[in-house]
A and B are shown apart, each in its own frame.
Chain A
Amino acid sequence: MLQNLSDYIVFVLMGLSPRSRIGEALNFFIYDTVKIFLLLTVIIFVVAVIRSYFPPEKTKLILSHKREYVGNILAALLGVVTPFCSCSAVPLFIGFVEAGIPLGVTFSFLVSSPMVNEVALIMLWGLFGWKVALIYIGTGLMVAVVSGMVIGKLKMEKYVQDYVYQVKVGVSVIEEKFFREKLTYGREYTTDLLKKIWPYVLIGVGVGAFIHGYAPEDILAKYAGRNNPFAVPLAVIIGVPLYSNAAGVIPIVHALMEKGLPIGTVLAFMMAVTALSFPEAVILKNVLKMRLLLTFFGIVATAIILVGYLFNAIL
């Protein structure tokens, strides 16, 4: 139906030929934009309402009674549903540590929370289909669990900034909201988020449409295909500074995949964009000593690169 609509607008109303490059690019742009905004509005709202049942204070309580392994898995899963903003990373980290949650378990949460986020999932689902979105969730959770376990095994508690252990955390009040308040929260959250990301979506889809219409077929298969062993690490390095722009990056990556970028490289790039970022590193520096911060980034980056190679090999 959406395809018919964008066909109608571009080929009938605007009178462009379906075979012309401009016609193809414009058709792609309209179809993707409408689809993505529809998905974003509906799903962000649903996710926001679900999230209102999992305030970080509750997550902390659940995790505080857990040991490693089970704790890592649970933390990765809770990371998906607990609302998280990197600007709150410091109080969250201190709250977790003070509640006696093992360091590795805390890191599983810190990895999965930004990585498996609703915007990335919607964009992946809308553009790549539900299979790729599911693979992303599955491997994202795996990266979070494994990275957390490895950090736990390294016993790096002494590389947390010393003052963290001295902070006295007051009793958290978990406010119980009525269902109607949750709906209001969902609506506000959706409007806020859409307001923030809409320009990135438009730019991303625009660049994607341009690549779709104008870049030669298979141009990337030649340079960044399966046979280039450096493509995956390079994708991760490029992904780090693109933080918080999952909305803009995914449409571009989608177009690149059509031109021959293999799926493993796509996944690795996406994960680097969402999970690793300079601003978050700067914020986490407040609670982590340099050695732990670098270890954290190193382990997560390695896990992501492995995921990239794995999927390039099997799919």
Chain B
Amino acid sequence: MKIEILGTGCAKCKTLYENTKKALEESGTVAEVVKVEDIPSIMKYGVMSTPALVIDGQVRFSGKVASVGEIRGMLP
């Protein structure tokens, strides 16, 4: 599984990255987590507010920092 965190490097993006890491740790799921910071790559997903979370190529939410619990709920 591949998880991408879309965002141009703002504070919220960092929090989302950390929450995602923690969610994976807690649930024992193995996944590759990548920060996507360059604009054309972010725009490819049609996202207009950052940060956003993409799991296996699918945008799960944008424009907010989800909690660890919420992210766990999105993991398979």
| Residues of A that sit less than 8 Å from B by CB | 55-57, 60, 83-85, 87-88, 90-92, 94-95, 98, 163, 166-173, 175, 185, 188, 286
Contacts and interface: CB of A to CB of B under 8 A. Distances in A.
B50 A83 contact: no
Interface string B18-57: 0000000000000000000001101111111110000000
Given A57-B48, A170-B43, A170-B45, 15 more contacts: A55-B63, A56-B48, A56-B49, A56-B63, A60-B48, A83-B49, A85-B12, A87-B8, A91-B8, A91-B49, A91-B50, A95-B46, A169-B43, A170-B44, A172-B47
A50 B16 CA distance: 24
B46 A92 contact: no
Interface of B is mostly: loop
A172 B40 contact: no
A201 to B, nearest CB: 20
Contacts of B64: 185, 188
B59 interface: yes
Interface of B: 7-8, 10, 12, 39-40, 42-50, 59, 61, 63-64
A286 B43 CA distance: 14
Contacts of A90: 8, 39
A230 to B, nearest CB: 37
B46 to A, nearest CB: 4
B7 to A, nearest CB: 8
A87 B7 CA distance: 9
Contacts of A173: 46, 59
A83 B63 CA distance: 9
B43 A168 contact: yes
A163 to B, nearest CB: 7
Contacts of A60: 48
A91 B61 contact: no
7 contacts: A88-B63, A95-B43, A98-B43, A170-B44, A170-B46, A171-B46, A175-B61
